[in-house]
Chains A and B, each alone.
Chain A
């Protein structure tokens, strides 16, 4: 195990964008070595953001998908104690036709910002707290390329939701056990564990390990532990509020 926080040397040859995106899925370590050596973030971020944007909006192009989104919004508002009146519902229903566009636009605006925030947090942790020497551009490039897993998840969820006329996550483990009460702790916990998010964390951990020349396992376990804590918190909240 090495404890050095040296940034990776720019030795690997640069790859084209499609090769990098596919490489993140098929051979992430080798691909991230290339990315770290030649940090380019815009193309990956743009492609993944557009893909996520498209597949997030895809289910809302159907009537059933819009209705499901509307239902989801009502449920969320109720969970925060907002009483939805018939008049409010009518207004929401009228604006539902614009949902594909507003959703797509929202993803395009929000995704880079979220990537920026995550990159900032990781940069702060690894550089400032742990003495790493990677540049912010390198960190942002790793995150932008790891986003291809998110794009794949959006493709998976968006396609299934499009055909079944629904919305929300379909890649969580709760989907495999539909007999569990959704407001129970176990049901909520499994529902909070998204397969693509786990995959994303593992890929991100590989990227960070390559970037900071550290072992992948501790970084992955740490990030997964943070995710697990958040998932347990969500499950506890849902099971308490749901009264299961």
Chain B
């Protein structure tokens, strides 16, 4: 090998070793768990309470029969629109018509009897007047000594008898008058009963249910017995979403809050509404008490009419319970809970940074300094100097994807949002490497 060749090889070796030395000193390979981050920035947030339930009309009338009988005329079909007062169905009126006629006859008989009693009363009055005159005459004659004591006593007795008869006659007339009133009341009742065999719509709406067919016999409706409902008329001009809201959300729900309603049967459409009723008592669970969530009934009235909607449609109401404009926010998936050592003032006490040291989960009380304690804190991991630093924070409202940050974070902080396993397992001080493709830009607001 020539000397020149040796010099060239030597220079090559020196160059390679020099490059390696430079690379080792200059470029320190970043190590650590690969994470995705998102930048904390200001956003407009809406706190949404989502609950599902059923579509119901605000006014719904279940029509039952007040009288028993066969349906002789059924004028409506299910789904038919009806107006208030429109004829719906007729129950056989013959029995009730007979009752009316019978009562009318009884009343007429009572009136006739009344006339007889009045004639009799007039006759009694005339007799009384005659007896009164005779007695007066006997008294004058007695004073002049022109009549006997016997004649005077007879006249007096006759007068008393006529007075008793007149009084009895008056009593009979009064009794008959009361009887006539009774008959008139019976007639009114019979006529009212007759009127109830003709059923008319009490509201304008749609026949949403028809449980009867012409020719069938109806029974008298009883409360809480769906089987006795003949027809249901719903006023679909005002629609409500009756939803079940979880007990943890119910304190934030208030009357008048806006809501967005989606109906499963009408995909792609949403309808605006407002909360109009909030239940004060929990919905009674039908299953075992231990497995049932405690929910409260909330009614959301839809602002506009919804064509082709039907009662009972499954729906979801997203109630906007709070709004915040341009607040510092953090992704919900970034939040986690860690047990940390805090000092007297509640500040996190961090151990010296060590990437490989396993996280301590069970420090003994004796290992803590005076004034320190272990406390479970809610917070996020922020990437600082290529390490995950657990930062405790206070959150406000929860939007769909973000929490409002009340304290603990500032705009521009890069919080670790994934992978999920990383957020779950990271410890304070762990070395991390931000996945290049997922690095989010710093917020400009």
Which positions in A face B, CB cutoff 8 Å? 26-27, 29, 67, 70-71, 74-75, 84-86, 89, 156, 160, 163-164, 166, 170-171, 175-176, 178, 182, 195, 199
Give, as a whole number of angstroms, the nearest-CB distance from B364 to chain A: 11
Please report the C-alpha to C-alpha distance between residue A160 and residue B17 in the assembled complex, in whole angstroms. Answer: 11
12 A-B residue contacts at CB 8 Å? A26-B6, A75-B356, A89-B356, A89-B358, A160-B24, A160-B25, A163-B25, A164-B24, A164-B25, A175-B23, A195-B20, A199-B13
Do B20 and A175 touch (CB < 8 A)? yes
Do B356 and A74 touch (CB < 8 A)? yes
With A84-B358, A86-B357, A163-B25 known as contacts, the answer to whether A27 contacts B6 (CB < 8 A) is yes
Give, as a whole number of angstroms, the nearest-CB distance from B3 to chain A: 10
Please report the C-alpha to C-alpha distance between residue A212 and residue B276 in the assembled complex, in whole angstroms. Answer: 100
Do A195 and B25 touch (CB < 8 A)? no
Do B20 and A176 touch (CB < 8 A)? yes
- Say whether B16 faces chain A, with CB atoms less than 8 Å apart: yes
* 10 further interface pairs, Cβ-Cβ under 8 Å (given A160-B25, A166-B28, A195-B17): A27-B6, A67-B354, A71-B355, A71-B356, A84-B358, A85-B358, A160-B24, A170-B24, A171-B17, A176-B19
Residues on B with C-beta less than 8 A from A163 are: 25
Residues on A with C-beta less than 8 A from B376 are: none
Please report the C-alpha to C-alpha distance between residue A26 and residue B357 in the assembled complex, in whole angstroms. Answer: 46
- Say whether B29 faces chain A, with CB atoms less than 8 Å apart: yes
Q: Considering only CB atoms, which chain B residue lies closest to A156 in the complex?
A: B17
Residues on B with C-beta less than 8 A from A171 are: 17, 20
Please report the C-alpha to C-alpha distance between residue A171 and residue B22 in the assembled complex, in whole angstroms. Answer: 11
Count B interface residues, CB 8 Å: 22
Residues on B with C-beta less than 8 A from A170 are: 20-21, 24
Q: Considering only CB atoms, which chain A residue lies closest to B27 in the complex?
A: A178
Give, as a whole number of angstroms, the nearest-CB distance from B46 to chain A: 39
Please report the C-alpha to C-alpha distance between residue A33 and residue B28 in the assembled complex, in whole angstroms. Answer: 43
Do A195 and B1 touch (CB < 8 A)? no
Residues on B with C-beta less than 8 A from A195 are: 16-17, 20
- Say whether B31 faces chain A, with CB atoms less than 8 Å apart: yes
Residues on A with C-beta less than 8 A from B27 are: 175, 178
Please report the C-alpha to C-alpha distance between residue A75 and residue B356 in the assembled complex, in whole angstroms. Answer: 8
Q: Considering only CB atoms, which chain B residue lies closest to A28 in the complex?
A: B1
- Say whether B360 faces chain A, with CB atoms less than 8 Å apart: yes
With A27-B6, A71-B355 known as contacts, the answer to whether A176 contacts B23 (CB < 8 A) is yes
Q: Considering only CB atoms, which chain A residue lies closest to B357 in the complex?
A: A89
Which 9 A-B pairs give the minimum distances between C-beta atoms?
A: A178-B27, A71-B356, A74-B356, A170-B24, A175-B23, A86-B360, A176-B23, A178-B29, A86-B358
